[in-house]
Structure 1
């Protein structure tokens, strides 16, 4: 063993011990908080009010008076109205221009834009304290997974598909703006080599297909690789699809230590990455037999200790699960963290219920709007102690990022309680409801009918790779337009598929949503339209979107330029189902 290899082994073991101490402390603190969740969450509210009481917002809304009241939570609710992002835009603009003490008392170190795929992009302030909250939560997820899956929190490394973008911009005051995940990765640059196989030099590659190739190039030699993590499940699917399509070139690069000429890399990126490669023809020969066998359960065949995939899989992302399962087999696939740019909301604590999240009492202060009240002019909220199992609520948070009684638009279902801590299941986002005639078709209902389309209509003729829906209201009657990408070769396409699929989706939507059925029978809503898309269409659309780590295909597409792009990528012109009523 060389001196460098020995040093690396010692450094990894030391890091592993330090991480074990940190994660154990985080786990014990979380479990203690869970047993007295309501009290712990009220302490969080008190801390936020105390810290920001002398801000412009805190003075205007009487934070100090609320703290002095017998029940600070009740006083806070009386003094501060429910809010949404538009209520903060002017204040955030002033903060971006350099004004301090507007919404938060701490200096803003970063502005993180939201994905902006479903509407106007948001700009979320990040402070040192809010960043620490996020880091603490990420450490906690590692601890929890280590408990549930032996080896999950070990020193074994994984592949992270988060890109450390170097294309940062700044506000007029010089405050950096960019992707929040990438910012966190940059701040943790010193420990990245102990967590992930991809070198730092390769984590800034802009071209997504080239970046996936590089991730695999450094991941394949890591025999002990134990996970892949990404923001969304489709990124992991694209990684394994790259392996399936380009494995001969990957083996050639491993054998020769040279990169393919067609990778879209800057000259310095190519030089820096090739400098890290050492020709290893023996490894290439050892990997070849497994890759030649095919790609069913390829993850465990290449990496015997492969333990989990961490990525968003709930709601609309469930559409990727069947494809992903083909690559990774039965290993756990779940999103360890439920949250948004504004705040971390909950963590997954039980692999048997991968779509349930235990709320985090230290991350932010929670309130909830019962689903039946979400459209009220002044909806009432309930506290954690008033939640009822089985009911649905919209999440409302108060956070260190300067959002007070802020409506997340996320609707969750209370699945149960763990040590007194609510466990919730994400249901849908209020902004992604299809609602052309008061029928309110939810994101989950759309995801369910797409899964039904794949299992009951396609029946082995292909798999759904991705999809989105547009609500077309400028026509009479208004209708839904489905854009669906299959893995089927367009040369084998049957032109009748559009009409058959439209009819199938029409029937399934009526079965899933009684209001849709009523509106269809009354001819208030028209029949769906289906556009099947060219293979790779959604990947090309994602490549054009900013904020690559958070970019995702919106399940309800509203931007005209996105709709125009998708229509232009159709394989055949749509065939609209003849008018008629849905069966009674």
Structure 2
């Protein structure tokens, strides 16, 4: 088995990728064997394996689980028990996920060894991208990176986001000054506004050196461009005068920026002012950073909604989505960086974890597609069940092109047959390693940033809200929703068709009551949503009331596209632009939540 650490040198990266993808099946067997050899005696696995460490015993006896199933073990460790109840190696810290479990971020155990392995994903994407863009290594990245303050568990172990751990690691601090426009002090500033302002300022000061634009997620870049729209005059003033604005008070930011803002530069200020003062911001990224060869950011999954916006701002700069991972595990990298953003596939790295794949029944999957039908699919079921009626997962070696799967991981850090919740489509192979296209998060219908609102969560929130209108003689006939991202920050939009119990006329809407409904929906959503709302990373929820018959017209539209009248259900979340136009054409009232949330620790 190849030593993953060898790939830290980028010149060996491509060779390593070829080796692991050619030997994918054997490496997967070795990964599982190593996990079981180390951890079979833990309290968790010994319940199922009773000393056995072979693959078949693992498959037959260890259950497929979700976070809720292993949360009691993680909570025990976080509260002070030894980590060997779940994994043999000592835990160094917890990864704080952006997802939620019971309204709170998940805690994923992490060891020092596994963290180093996770950083391999970052290293591996570099030589692949470099092949596609000549000279991309000769300049700097205009970086927009942010960290989040961690929390200390009762055991003394810290819990931080994976990106925070990376950006505060010694390796990054040593490497960043040579490759990033953002000084370390600006990245480590916990005040997002000051951090963003200073990172944009230092990026503009070095605009002629910038060969790529970097952010972790597309939503972050979109938000930063909106911030630039609001603050470009101040940035130009700072550049023109050679002094940093007084409102930036973070000592690290002031020190780092002042060392770069060494004197007045009216010529640069005029250039930026002419670009940002244009009535249209189409191509603004290309104009501000003319040597940028590509934008490097995750643009798949819920981030794909920002592709049109980044295309508009980018002015033709290619969008590169380098890798695919989660708090639980790294999965793969994009071996074709110049792929159409909507067609990106990730090649799985078999050395990262042991992967299994739950075939997804096409009849029940909430597929992220142009039209969301609730009828019976013409495609056959892919699921195979055992004698207990449970779906049997398949190994990496047995996945089939064109089929959909939910990914299941087993790691060295205490996750055994863990359902990540991502639905993927197998698009092909690179050597013997599968290539998957991200389709959706299981059960997620709305997402703007790191929020993931399921249909069940949305239904519960709307049930709570409609109780406010029932005393006034109104009935909520039907509803739908969509994630509005044409403005920054984006927001949730609900469409309601109301019926008056007293008559068939359009109900007279009391603005105060409707705003209370908006507040109730937001109050009923989870911790992540509220945290992002408080941090202004999600705008106030909007409720659009439509006239009678609007949802009938929506049903007619879906039926015209092939849906069955007998089996039609109103889609919980609209994916089709045509369907959205139908709903918007019937709007008779718009209301926004005036809700303000108490200060909570924001997610970044």
TM-score normalised by structure 2 residue count: 0.70
Q: 1:253 to 1:317 in 2, by over 3 A?
A: same
Q: Pick the aligned partner of 2:9 from 19, 22, 29.
A: 22
> C-alpha displacement at 1:242, in angstroms?
2.2
Cα distance in 2, alignment partners of residues 342 and 436 from structure 1:
23
Cα distance in 1, alignment partners of residues 196 and 556 from structure 2:
39
User: Does 2:144 align with 1:161?
Assistant: yes
Q: 1:308 to 1:414 in 2, by over 3 A?
A: same
What's the secondary structure of 2:168's corresponding residue?
Answer: helix
- Is contact 1:34–1:418 with CA below 8 Å preserved after alignment? yes
Q: 1:508 to 1:63 in 2, by over 3 A?
A: farther
> C-alpha displacement at 1:471, in angstroms?
11
> C-alpha displacement at 1:300, in angstroms?
2.1
> C-alpha displacement at 1:295, in angstroms?
2.5
| 2:575 alignment counterpart | none
Q: Pick the aligned partner of 1:95 from 74, 77, 85.
A: 77
Cα distance in 1, alignment partners of residues 602 and 50 from structure 2:
35
- Is contact 1:368–1:381 with CA below 8 Å preserved after alignment? yes
| 1:49 alignment counterpart | 36
What's the secondary structure of 1:310's corresponding residue?
Answer: strand
> C-alpha displacement at 1:330, in angstroms?
2.0
User: Does 2:45 align with 1:75?
Assistant: no
User: Does 2:296 align with 1:313?
Assistant: no
> C-alpha displacement at 1:339, in angstroms?
1.1
Q: Pick the aligned partner of 1:193 from 171, 177, 194.
A: 177
Aligned pairs (5 A) from 1:216-231: 216-222=200-206, 223-231=208-216
Q: 1:509 to 1:210 in 2, by over 3 A?
A: farther
Q: 1:343 to 1:545 in 2, by over 3 A?
A: farther
Residue by residue over 1:270-298, the C-alpha shift from the partner in whole angstroms, topping out at 9 and shown as x without a partner, is 45543543124143234333334453212
- Is contact 2:33–2:53 with CA below 8 Å preserved after alignment? no
Cα distance in 2, alignment partners of residues 259 and 380 from structure 1:
60
Q: CA RMSD in A?
A: 4.3
Cα distance in 1, alignment partners of residues 563 and 599 from structure 2:
37
Residue by residue over 1:200-247, the C-alpha shift from the partner in whole angstroms, topping out at 9 and shown as x without a partner, is 111133333332221110001221212222232111011122223322
Cα distance in 2, alignment partners of residues 547 and 105 from structure 1:
33
Cα distance in 2, alignment partners of residues 393 and 501 from structure 1:
38
User: Does 2:439 align with 1:390?
Assistant: no
Aligned pairs (5 A) from 1:505-584: 514=563, 518-520=567-569, 546=601, 548-549=603-604
Q: Pick the aligned partner of 2:351 from 331, 338, 362.
A: 362
User: Does 2:328 align with 1:339?
Assistant: no
> C-alpha displacement at 1:82, in angstroms?
0.8
| 1:5 alignment counterpart | none
Q: 1:239 to 1:268 in 2, by over 3 A?
A: closer
Cα distance in 2, alignment partners of residues 328 and 19 from structure 1:
35
Residue by residue over 1:111-139, the C-alpha shift from the partner in whole angstroms, topping out at 9 and shown as x without a partner, is 12212458432111111122111111110
Q: 1:148 to 1:528 in 2, by over 3 A?
A: same
- Is contact 2:226–2:488 with CA below 8 Å preserved after alignment? no
| 2:88 alignment counterpart | 105
TM-score normalised by structure 1 residue count: 0.73
Cα distance in 1, alignment partners of residues 561 and 92 from structure 2:
46
> C-alpha displacement at 1:186, in angstroms?
0.7
| 1:553 alignment counterpart | none
> C-alpha displacement at 1:423, in angstroms?
0.8
| 1:7 alignment counterpart | none
Q: How many residues align?
A: 489
Aligned pairs (5 A) from 1:330-479: 330-350=316-336, 351-354=338-341, 355-372=344-361, 373=383, 378-433=390-445, 435=455, 466-468=490-492
Cα distance in 1, alignment partners of residues 556 and 297 from structure 2:
32
What's the secondary structure of 2:52's corresponding residue?
Answer: helix
Q: Pick the aligned partner of 2:126 from 142, 147, 161.
A: 142
What's the secondary structure of 1:229's corresponding residue?
Answer: strand
> C-alpha displacement at 1:362, in angstroms?
0.7
User: Does 2:40 align with 1:34?
Assistant: no
User: Does 2:272 align with 1:260?
Assistant: no
Cα distance in 2, alignment partners of residues 248 and 121 from structure 1:
37
5+ residue gaps in structure 1?
A: 1-17, 440-447, 455-461, 550-584
What's the secondary structure of 1:101's corresponding residue?
Answer: helix
Cα distance in 2, alignment partners of residues 267 and 21 from structure 1:
34
- Is contact 1:50–1:63 with CA below 8 Å preserved after alignment? no
| 1:444 alignment counterpart | none
Cα distance in 2, alignment partners of residues 359 and 501 from structure 1:
48
Q: 1:387 to 1:31 in 2, by over 3 A?
A: same
5+ residue gaps in structure 2?
A: 362-382, 446-453, 460-479, 501-516, 523-532, 534-538, 572-581
